[in-house]
């Protein structure tokens, strides 16, 4: 598979180029910050009507990853929906599509700050999920070990000899992984921001998403 | 047509000064009841007074209540300047007239007061006017309005700012049916076109032409040094330029780009042994700095100002007696307007000097000079009014009040720029504003505009504020402020483009406002710098606009190359052309010269298309793509206004086969769709049409975020909805703008397959300077980005030792 292997707290993980995280031993796929229904929320709040294709695009990519991994468990690591109303008003076709993806596998919705509280979709709804030796939660907590989180969805800028390239990225150290956003319209926070600097150990690395994922020292 | 007699206060004011009212000023008075008049007059011809005299006459009896005349100018500074210059005579005439300006710099308190109690004369900009029309109380604000004066209309006519303004005028005409329109313009190539933009369609518009005054005294700068083969710095001319500055009272030194202005200013200072007071002025400098230079100039304290187009327009900066244009003027019309900046005394000739920056520009300058002498101005037919501006106007109309689609359509087609708008095009824009206009319909309950009965309403009235916050058609390409690094916010110096800032690392030096500064870091979207005493800065590449040489000037130059000899040229340049004719051949009109030759182990092909920089650049992209498809291993290209040089591994034995118009067009549709130029064009259109908000209630989005999301939106539309309105707008615009495919089509149509292929044993004289050009574009195969990333990240992992730590 198109990914980079590493381990956190003894668990062998693979960062995929798509921005998903694969735990082979558990056949478990993690995606974070899908922000489905973002265009609907912006519109509802009096903003412009952005091209309403982000849910479709995100689900196509998720479907590809599920086909490639044949995951037994899927964890959506919070902010799966841009808000509760966006989840409620998800078009019927997208709802059925998610049902189809869920068939035959365990599906866990972790709560995020955008989508606290249960949503009206099949699957387990949890604040966080401990699965030894790892814990899955939306927002990283300092001092924890074996933690997989999203929320900040980091991006990394690399100055190559011809131009600078910015990509969503995983941040990884021996205690934790902070995942990039999986949602099509979800941006990112520069890895050099203070909050990420404080959370990550000095020797942290970054894995850039893209056609072929690439590992590098985390740019500070 | 007898002019109405002027009130005695006004006649008296002129006669006590011993001034005659100019014939064109009388003419404008005589036509003061016409629905629309365009005045074409040189700078210094009393143009502004000609525009305002009827207003002063009508207001002299003090009976008018509320707004009478609206004055619109392209520059905030011009509005402020006119306020000063109008106030004095009005006070001296003792007329009871209130004059105020309203621009982006006006305080909220004053703006509010102006809405409640408008002055008699309001001086404003197209942007502020568009906003004013979007308020619910617009009918009350504009009640009583009689006249609108559009100053420097030539500067607005060719841009989206103009389209916005003409739509706003249509709006005003609906509010005030007997509104009369006046346009004031510098010399233009097609006065009738400008007149039809100004007038309510299909009203006639008389054109009044003032005596243009004596012909300008214009020449090419003579220097002892010969100009270099390439580059735009013109450093060789510094001693000669300084000599002219010494001999004149005040000299304006125009440059085509801000970076060139900065470098020239820097070099000028290094050579300025007598410490002549010389300033710099361009659009990227901090406002305070610019104002200081402007004030010094008005006082007559400066002997020279190095500047860009920011000083193009008719602000009265004092006694300029020489204009120097550094770099080929690219466009004869703009050159004439710049020359007009010298000498505000009406009957003395303006004096100007052209300074070619390199050998090729000598040829171009000679041709531009001839064009000026013959009055052969260039101009392209104006494109149709763009739909993104229309969308913004629909939203602004909705912010003002519910509207009927039929009425709004009728109103918009009364604007000259939109006279041929079809109902289907209008409906597509309305649909975009209401629902987004996507092929995939969804969320209709949240649509922005909703139809209730016959009228369209904003669904959420609070959206009005958001729409107003994002009005305007000027695209600041994302700029970052530059400040001196201090404990508590140092002195602001100006702005640089974000793309330039992204290339800086700590310790790099660059020029801004004529001083060398050292990059210290980026803090909260501000570039922090310290002063630096370095002798040689890293070049400031913040771009400013790079104009392409106009079609007319290019064609004139091509014809010039056919002369048997060139006595107009200095020997060094004439010899160069003769050598080219002997070794290869000279490019000809209606034919296309293509040279191929080996050099440094690479094969080269030069295409002399004379299509202007943008089109030659696009030609480079398209031809290298064609070559790649045919396994001809192109490695890169560089483009100038007249030629594209492509290099690669293989000899091109049969270049004719590359120039198939249909194949090139296919490349444009398929491959160029993903190009950065298209994305940039899309960002502009999407921002104007209201799809991307620069400002949201609460906080200003940083440029970076806007950049990120517009590219994603473009990619998404390309993938799922390629025929969306904004994609159509983007394609139309890119074809004549940044991509300029229209000129490639013109060129191919002109040559009709007449391609002259010269296989030379080595580089030819005309091709040689191309090898020195900056801005070489490496050709990137699809995997280039992946390869670059792999190379860099592997090196980082290895060098940091992390390779052994991971896992």
Interface A-B, measured as beta-carbon pairs within 8 A, has a size of 123
Identify the helix (H) or strand (E) that includes residue B708.
Answer: helix B703-720
DSSP B216: P
Which CATH number do you get for residue A27? 3.60.21
**Is B448 within 8 Å of A43 when comparing Cβ atoms?**
yes
Contact B692 A187 (CB under 8 A): no
Cis peptide before B676 (omega within 30 of 0): no
Please determine whether the domains at B8-209 and B217-374 fall in the same fold group of CATH.
yes
Chain A residues whose CB is inside 8 A of the B717 CB are 51, 53
> Which chain A residue shows the shortest CA-CA distance from B690?
A48
Nearest to A205 among B442, B693, B806 (CB): B806
Chain B (38-67) residues lying within 8 Å, Cβ to Cβ, of chain A: none
Does residue B705 surpass a pLDDT of 50?
A: no
CA B639, CA B652: separation in Å to the nearest integer? 18
Q: Which of A51, A158, A159 sits opposite B713 (nearest CB)?
A: A51
- Measured CA to CA, the distance from residue B557 to residue B33 in angstroms comes to 46
Predicted local distance difference test score (pLDDT) of residue B783: 42
- In the numeric block, the tokens 């002195």 are attached to B491
pLDDT band at B499 (very low <50, low <70, confident <90, very high): low
Distance from CA of A155 to the nearest CA of B (A): 11
Nearest to A6 among B443, B460, B807 (CB): B807
pLDDT digit string (tens) for A133-186? 999 999 999 999 999 999 999 999 887 765 678 899 999 999 999 999 999 998
Q: What tokens were used for B69?
A: 């005349």
* Beta-strand pair B147-150/B180-185: parallel
| Chain A residues whose beta carbon lies within 8 Å of the beta carbon of residue B460 | 46
CA–CA gap between residue B369 and residue B349 (Å, rounded): 15
Q: Is B136 exposed, middle or buried (0-12, 13-18, 19+ CB in 10 A)?
A: exposed
| Number of domains chain A contains | 1
- Whether residue B257 contacts residue B546, with contact meaning beta carbons closer than 8 Å, is answered with yes
Q: How far apart are CA B470 and CA B690, in angstroms?
A: 7
- Provide, as residue numbers in chain A, all residues whose Cβ is less than 8 Å from the Cβ of B720: 51, 53, 56-57
Cβ–Cβ below 8 Å for B788 and A184: no
8 Å CB contact of B789 and A7: no
Contact yes or no for B720 and A46 at CB 8 A: no
Most distant CA pair in chain B, distance: 94
pLDDT digits (tens, 9 = 90+) for A3-55: 999 999 999 999 999 999 999 999 999 999 999 999 999 888 888 889 999 99
Burial of A51 from C-beta contacts in 10 A (0-12 / 13-18 / 19+): buried
B689: number of Cβ within 10 Å: 25
- Interface contact B442, partner A, CB < 8 A: yes
Tell which residue, B459, B463, B496, has the closest CA to residue B481.
Answer: B496
CA dist A100 and B556 (Å) reads 67
**Interface residue of A49, A58, A82 to substitute, partner B, most B CBs within 10 Å:** A49
Q: Supply the pLDDT for residue B703.
A: 39
The tokens describing B445, both together, are: 């309950």
Q: Are B342 and B351 in contact (CB under 8 A)?
A: yes
Chain A positions in Cβ-Cβ contact with residue B797 (cut-off 8 Å): 215-217
**Least confident piece of the model among B606-610, B707-711, B780-784:** B780-784
The residue written with tokens 């104007």 in the block is B688
Instruction: State the smallest CA–CA distance between residue B395 and chain A in angstroms.
Output: 11
Option in B705, B716, B789 nearest A57 (CB): B716
Structure tokens at B111: 């703006």
Residue B216 has pLDDT above 90, yes or no: no
First vs last Cα of chain A: how many Å apart?
29
Task: Considering only residues A66 and B234, tell me which one the structure prediction assigns the higher pLDDT.
Answer: A66
Residues A135 and A176: their CA atoms lie apart, in Å, by 9
Alpha-carbon distance B267 to B209, whole Å?
Answer: 42
pLDDT per residue as tens digits for the range B49-101: 899 999 999 999 999 999 999 999 988 777 888 888 899 999 999 999 999 99
| Residue boundaries of the structural domains of chain B | 8-209, 217-374, 390-451, 479-531, 570-785
Q: Does B805 touch chain A (CB under 8 A)?
A: yes
Q: Which residues of B touch A159 (CB under 8 A)?
A: 505, 792
Residue that wins the pLDDT comparison between B500 and B531: B531
* Residue B700: per-residue pLDDT: 46
DSSP letters of B399-438? HHS-EEHHHHHHHHTTBGGGTT--HHHHHHHHHHHHH---
Domain boundaries B8-209, corresponding CATH code: 3.40.50.300
| Chain A contact set for B709 (CB, 8 A) | 185, 187
Q: Using CA atoms, how far apart are residues B658 and B630, in angstroms rounded to an integer? A: 10
pLDDT over 70 (residue B707):
no
Distance of CA B750 to the CA centre of its chain: 28
List chain B residues with CB under 8 Å of A210. 786, 789
Half-sphere exposure of B416 (CA within 13 A, CB side): 20
Report the alpha-carbon distance of residue A153 to residue A33 in Å, rounded: 8
What is the reported pLDDT for B148?
Answer: 98
B residues 448-467 lying closer than 8 A (beta carbon) to A? 448, 459-460, 462-463, 466
Strand ranges in B312-463 using DSSP code E only, listed in sequence order: 322-326, 351-355, 403-404, 449-452, 455-458
Q: How far apart are CA B397 and CA B174, in angstroms?
A: 12
Q: List the beta strands (DSSP E) in B532-601.
A: 592-599
User: How far, CA to CA in Å, does B308 sit from each of B115, B334, B546?
Assistant: 35, 12, 12
Contact A89 B709 (CB under 8 A): no
Is the Cβ pair B462, A43 closer than 8 Å? Answer: no
What's the pLDDT band for B544 if we cut at 50, 70, 90?
A: very low
- Is residue A160 classed as helix, strand or coil in its secondary structure? coil
ipTM rounded to 2 decimals: 0.87
Q: CB count, 10 Å around CB of B703?
A: 17
Nearest to B716 among A53, A89, A212 (CB): A53
- Give yes or no for a contact between A4 and B797, defined as CB atoms under 8 angstroms apart: no
B444 vs A: CB within 8 A: no
Q: Which alpha helices (DSSP H) does B182-328 contain, by range?
A: 191-198, 238-247, 258-271, 287-298
Residue B204: exposed, middle, or buried by beta-carbon count in 10 A (0-12, 13-18, 19+)?
Answer: exposed
Q: B258-271 and B238-247 are packed helices; what angle lies between their axes, rounded to 10 degrees?
A: 80
What are the tokens at B487?
A: 């404990």
The tens digit of pLDDT for each residue in B561-611 reads: 999 999 999 999 999 999 999 999 999 999 999 999 999 888 999 999 999
Contacts of B713 in chain A (CB under 8 A): 50-51
Distance (Å, rounded) from C-alpha B272 to C-alpha A132? 74
The alpha carbons of chain A give a radius of gyration, in whole angstroms, of 17
- Interface residue of A8, A40, A48 to substitute, partner B, most B CBs within 10 Å: A48
**Cβ distance of A158 and B793 shorter than 8 Å:** yes
Residue B234 pLDDT > 80: yes
Superfamily of domain B217-374: P-loop containing nucleotide triphosphate hydrolases (3.40.50.300)
Per-residue confidence (pLDDT) for residue B668, from 0 to 100: 74
- Minimal CA separation from A43 to chain B, in Å: 6
Chain B CA closest to residue A37: B443
User: Is B800 an 8 Å CB contact of chain A?
Assistant: yes
Q: Give the pLDDT band of residue B186 (cuts 50, 70, 90).
A: confident
Q: Does B541 touch chain A (CB under 8 A)?
A: no
Q: How wide is the angle at C-alpha B780 spanned by C-alphas B774 and B782, nearest 5°?
A: 165
Percent of chain B with pLDDT over 70: 90
Read out DSSP for B74-112? Answer: S-HHHHHHHHHHHHHHHHHHT----EEEESTTS-HHHHH
Question: On the CB side of B111, how many CA atoms lie within 13 Å of its CA?
Answer: 13
The beta-carbon contacts of B526-531 under 8 Å, at least 24 apart in sequence, are: B526/B480, B526/B481, B526/B482, B526/B483, B527/B480, B527/B481, B527/B482, B527/B483, B527/B496, B527/B501, B528/B483, B528/B484, B528/B485, B528/B490, B529/B482, B529/B483, B529/B484, B529/B485, B529/B493, B530/B484, B530/B485, B531/B484
Tell me if A48 and B713 make a contact (CB, 8 A cut-off). no
Task: Indicate whether B108 pLDDT > 80.
Answer: yes
- Give the pLDDT mean for B360-385: 87
- Domain residues for the domain of A181 are 3-217
| Contact (CB, 8 A) for B719 and A60 | no
CB within 8 Å of B126: residues ≥ 6 apart: B72, B74, B156, B161, B162, B164, B165, B168, B473
Decide if A54 and B720 are in contact by the 8 Å CB cutoff: no
What's the CA gap between A100 and B129, in Å, rounded?
Answer: 54
pLDDT at B461 over 50: yes
Task: Please list the alpha-helical segments (H only) found in A30-140.
Answer: 38-44, 54-69, 84-88, 92-102
H/E element holding B253? Answer: strand B251-254
Task: State the Cα angle at B282 between B281 and B283, rounded to 5°.
Answer: 140
For residue A216, list its beta bridge partners.
A206
Measured distance CA(B365)–CA(B374) in Å, rounded? 14
- Nearest-Cα residue of chain B relative to residue A184: B712
Average pLDDT value for residue range B342-362: 81
- Taking the C-alpha atoms of residue B620 and residue B613, their distance in angstroms, rounded to an integer, is 10
pLDDT recorded at residue B780: 54
Distance CA B438, CA B91 (A): 57
The answer on pLDDT for B704 being more than 70 is no
Residue of A nearest to B435 (CA): A49
């Amino acid at each position: 598979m198109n990914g980079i292997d590493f381990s956190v707290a003894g668990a062998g993980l693979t960062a995929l180029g798509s921005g998903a995280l694969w735990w082979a031993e558990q056949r478990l796929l993690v995606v974070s910050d899908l922000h489905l229904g973002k265009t609907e929320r912006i519109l509802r709040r009096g903003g412009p009507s952005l091209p309403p294709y982000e849910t479709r695009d995100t689900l196509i990519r998720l479907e590809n990853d599920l086909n490639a991994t044949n995951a037994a468990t899927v964890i959506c690591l919070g902010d799966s929906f841009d808000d509760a109303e966006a989840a409620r008003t998800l078009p019927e076709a997208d709802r059925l599509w998610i049902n189809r993806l869920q068939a035959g596998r365990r599906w866990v919705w972790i709560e995020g700050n955008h989508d606290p509280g249960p949503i009206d979709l099949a699957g387990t709804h949890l604040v966080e999920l401990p699965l030894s030796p790892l814990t899955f939660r939306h927002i990283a907590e300092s001092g924890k070990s074996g933690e997989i989180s999203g929320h900040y969805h980091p991006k990394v800028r690399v100055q190559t000899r011809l131009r600078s390239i910015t990509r969503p990225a995983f941040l990884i150290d021996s205690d934790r992984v902070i995942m990039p956003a999986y949602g099509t319209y979800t941006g990112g926070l520069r890895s050099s921001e203070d909050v990420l600097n404080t959370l990550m150990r000095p020797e942290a690395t970054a894995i850039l998403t893209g056609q072929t994922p690439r590992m590098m020292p985390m740019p500070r | 047509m007898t002019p109405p007699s002027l009130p005695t206060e006004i006649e008296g004011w002129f006669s006590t000064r011993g001034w005659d009212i100019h014939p064109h000023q009388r003419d404008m008075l005589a036509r003061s009841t016409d629905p629309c008049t365009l005045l074409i007059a040189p700078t210094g011809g009393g143009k502004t007074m000609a525009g305002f005299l009827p207003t002063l006459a009508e207001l002299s009896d003090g009976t008018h209540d509320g707004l009478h005349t609206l004055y619109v100018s392209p520059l905030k500074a011009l509005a402020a300047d006119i306020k000063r210059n109008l106030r004095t005579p009005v006070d001296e005439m003792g007329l009871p007239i209130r004059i105020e300006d309203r621009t982006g710099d006006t305080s909220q308190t004053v703006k509010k007061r102006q809405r409640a109690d408008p002055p008699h004369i309001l001086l404003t900009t197209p942007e502020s006017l568009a906003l004013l029309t979007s308020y619910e109380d617009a009918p009350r604000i504009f009640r009583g309005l009689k006249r609108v004066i559009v100053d420097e209309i030539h500067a607005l006519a060719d841009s989206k700012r103009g389209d916005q303004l003409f739509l706003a005028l249509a709006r005003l005409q609906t509010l005030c049916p007997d509104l009369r329109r006046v346009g004031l313009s510098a010399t233009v190539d097609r006065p009738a076109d400008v007149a039809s933009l100004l007038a309510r369609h299909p009203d006639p518009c008389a054109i009044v032409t003032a005596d243009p005054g004596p012909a300008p005294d214009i020449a090419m700068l003579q220097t002892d040094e010969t100009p270099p083969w390439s580059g735009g710095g013109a450093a060789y001319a510094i001693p000669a330029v300084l000599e002219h500055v010494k001999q004149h009272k005040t000299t304006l030194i125009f440059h085509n780009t801000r970076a060139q202005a900065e470098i020239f200013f820097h070099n000028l200072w290094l050579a300025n042994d007598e410490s002549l007071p010389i300033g710099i002025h361009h659009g990227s400098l901090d406002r305070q700095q610019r104002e200081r230079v402007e004030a010094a100039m008005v006082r007559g304290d400066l002997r020279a100002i190095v500047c860009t187009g920011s000083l193009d327009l008719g602000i009265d900066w004092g006694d300029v007696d020489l204009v120097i244009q550094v770099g080929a003027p690219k466009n004869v019309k703009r050159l004439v307007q710049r020359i007009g900046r010298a000498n505000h005394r009406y009957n003395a000739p303006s004096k100007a000097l052209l300074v070619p920056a390199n050998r090729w520009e000598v040829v171009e300058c000679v041709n531009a000079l001839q064009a000026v002498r013959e009055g052969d101005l260039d101009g392209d037919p104006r494109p149709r009014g763009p739909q993104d501006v229309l969308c913004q106007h629909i939203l602004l109309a909705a912010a003002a009040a519910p509207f009927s689609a039929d009425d709004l359509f009728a109103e918009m087609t009364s604007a000259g720029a939109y006279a041929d708008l079809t109902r289907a095009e209008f409906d597509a824009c309305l649909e975009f504003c209401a629902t987004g206009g996507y092929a995939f319909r969804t969320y209709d309950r949240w649509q922005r505009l909703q139809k209730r009965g016959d009228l369209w309403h904003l669904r959420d009235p609070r959206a009005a504020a958001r729409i107003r916050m994002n009005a305007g058609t000027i695209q600041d390409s994302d700029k970052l402020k530059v400040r001196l690094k201090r404990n508590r916010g140092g002195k602001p110096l100006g702005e640089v483009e974000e793309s330039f800032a992204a290339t800086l690392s700590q310790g790099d030096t660059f020029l801004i406002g004529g001083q060398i500064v050292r990059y210290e870091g980026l803090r909260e979207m501000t570039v922090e710098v310290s002063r630096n005493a370095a002798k040689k800065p890293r070049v400031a590449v913040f771009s400013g606009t790079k104009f392409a040489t106009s079609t007319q000037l290019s064609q004139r130059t091509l014809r010039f190359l056919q002369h048997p000899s060139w006595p107009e040229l200095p020997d060094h340049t004439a010899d160069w052309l003769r050598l080219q004719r002997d070794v290869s051949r000279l490019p000809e009109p209606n034919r296309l010269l293509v040279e191929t030759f080996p050099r440094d182990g690479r094969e080269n092909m030069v295409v002399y298309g004379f299509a202007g920089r943008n089109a030659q650049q696009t030609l480079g992209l398209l031809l290298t793509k064609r070559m790649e498809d045919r396994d001809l291993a192109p490695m890169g290209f560089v483009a100038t206004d007249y030629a594209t040089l492509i290099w690669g591994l293989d000899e091109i034995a049969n270049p004719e086969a590359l120039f198939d118009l249909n194949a090139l067009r296919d490349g444009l549709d398929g491959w160029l769709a993903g190009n950065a130029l298209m994305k940039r064009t899309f960002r502009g259109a999407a921002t104007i049409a209201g799809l991307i908000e620069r400002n949201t209630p609460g906080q200003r989005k940083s440029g970076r975020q806007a950049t990120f999301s517009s590219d994603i939106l473009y990619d998404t539309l390309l993938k799922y909805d390629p025929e969306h309105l904004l994609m159509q707008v983007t394609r139309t615009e890119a074809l004549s703008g940044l991509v300029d495919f229209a000129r490639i089509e013109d060129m191919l149509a002109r040559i009709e397959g007449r391609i002259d292929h010269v296989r030379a044993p080595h580089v030819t004289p005309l091709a040689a300077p191309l090898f020195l050009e900056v801005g070489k574009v490496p050709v990137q195969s699809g995997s280039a980005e992946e390869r670059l990333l792999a190379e860099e990240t592997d090196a980082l992992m290895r060098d940091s030792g992390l390779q052994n730590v991971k896992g």
